[in-house]
Amino acid sequence: MQRFPLPTLFLLVLLIAPSLAGSLPDFTELAEENAPAVVNISTVYHKKNPLQRYKLPDDFQLPEKGPLADLLRRFLEGQQEMPEEEMDSLGSGFIISPDGYIVTNHHVVEGADEILVRLHNRDTYSARLVGSDEASDIALLKVEAENLPTVKIGDSDQLKIGAWVLAIGSPFGFDYTVTAGIVSAKGRSLPSENYVPYIQTDVAINPGNSGGPLFNLDGEVVGVNSQIFSRSGGFMGLSFAVPINLAMNVVRQLREQGRVTRGYLGVLIQDLDQGLAHAFGLDHPRGALVSRVLPDSPASRGGIQVGDVILSYDGRPVRTSSELPPLVGSTRVGREVPLVVQRDGRSLELKVKIQALPVQEEKAEKKKALQPPQKEKGDRLGLVVRDLTQEERKELELPEDAGGVLVESVKPGPALEAGLEEGDVLLRLDGRLLKGVGEYHALVRKLPAGAEVPVLIQRPHGPLFLALRLP
């Protein structure tokens, strides 16, 4: 190993340092040009004083004298003097048109009685809520002003992992704070978030940044900063932004019709593990496995079947099941979309006409009472099963033609190793519909030793495929 004297090392550092500094991005011009189009948003929530809910009947006669009369009189006088409580909230946003349209997060303005927008020059406006969409966490505001500075809208589909990005916002109320980082991942699916393929970054985002813009190095907005993952309430290196392509689609619909319409396919899907991938004839886990096709849906009319693995949608590959809902949701209603599915070991191309996502009422949680398991010996899968009663079928919302047998007991064996539980309903085994216990036992006897077969089960939260490996 060659050693250099200290003077030589010092000279090398002086020569290399400028080249390293030159390779890092310079955000000064980007921040200076775009800060005027970023706004601070404060909201006011009027909260009734809790004492104001108490009111004496109109015909109530106050006593004229005594301690009770003085107490009631002071109480009533104090109630009239108590003002409404005001609660403030803070967020960010950005101007997309010179006539005052502003994008922010739904959760920043949700339920607000007043929305105030403060510009970079400290001018403050009262904003009107044009529309808001909880599913995408996007809201559109309007202020009465002209010739406002605006941001440039970019293309989030062209954003690459590892690219530099910059955020401008008001974390903890500190106006026009600039933070930078890189794109850590794309297409992130968060819990209870079905329609947003989030951009994950390591840009420092904190409360107050919500609704602010995420810029690329060309000074274009590629995302709307929305969420952080944190155990402490502050930044921990995991920040999430709504892709600007999705956000602007929501904005367009809010401007045109005041609400958002999403595409609807009508399937329940799940991911595949290695066992399921082999069971369905795939070389490795990919795609979205269809565990249920809803009746009278675009999927049922388009020929999609239970057990199909959706590999691509509208020409875009589907790597995981979480990638499919955002693609379907952003599809224009009425459009016919091509899909590629894997069925029985071969690829098929289908065409499905997308409908609008129906508005469904929330269903109350159901309590399921199962009969106690019988102490019987399990079959070669390790299962004890029986036919479903009409009440159980109705409770699970299973039609007669859906088949199914109820798992009463799970003994040590392939079923237990695959994850089956007492109370599961077996709907399909190795692609065959199970119409009763007799057909189930006949099929189990015919399963080849050493085979890996898919089994479709029904649980209270929905259908699920598992992979069974026979000894």
Please identify every residue annotated as catalytic.
Answer: 107, 137, 210
Please state, in angstroms and rounded to a whole number, the distance separating the CA atoms of residues 134 and 140. Answer: 12
Helix (H, G, I), strand (E, B) or coil at 240: strand
E strands in 220-266: 220-228, 239-243, 263-264
Q: Maximum distance among all alpha carbons in the chain?
A: 104
- CA-nearest of 461, 452, 462 to 418 is 452
CA geometry: angle 389, 392, 396, nearest 5 deg: 140
Please state, in angstroms and rounded to a whole number, the distance separating the CA atoms of residues 68 and 257. Answer: 58
Sheet with 114-118: strands ordered across:
124-126, 114-118, 38-47, 85-95, 101-104, 138-142, 128-133
Q: How far apart are the first and last CA of the chain?
A: 58
Tokens of 105: 């997060």
Answer whether 260's CB lies under 8 Å from 250's CB. yes
Please state, in angstroms and rounded to a whole number, the distance separating the CA atoms of residues 387 and 272. Answer: 28
Please state, in angstroms and rounded to a whole number, the distance separating the CA atoms of residues 60 and 51. Answer: 18
- What are φ and ψ of residue 185, in 5° steps? -165, 165
Measured CA distances, 186 to 97, 152, 198, 211 (Å) = 27, 21, 6, 19
Please state, in angstroms and rounded to a whole number, the distance separating the CA atoms of residues 225 and 240. Answer: 6
Per-position b or e across 253-267, b if 16+ CB within 10 A of its CB = bbeeeeebebbbbbb
DSSP code for 233: S
466: left (phi over 0), alpha (psi -120 to 50) or beta: beta
| Secondary-structure breakdown of the chain: helix, strand, coil percentages, each rounded to the nearest 5 | 25, 35, 40
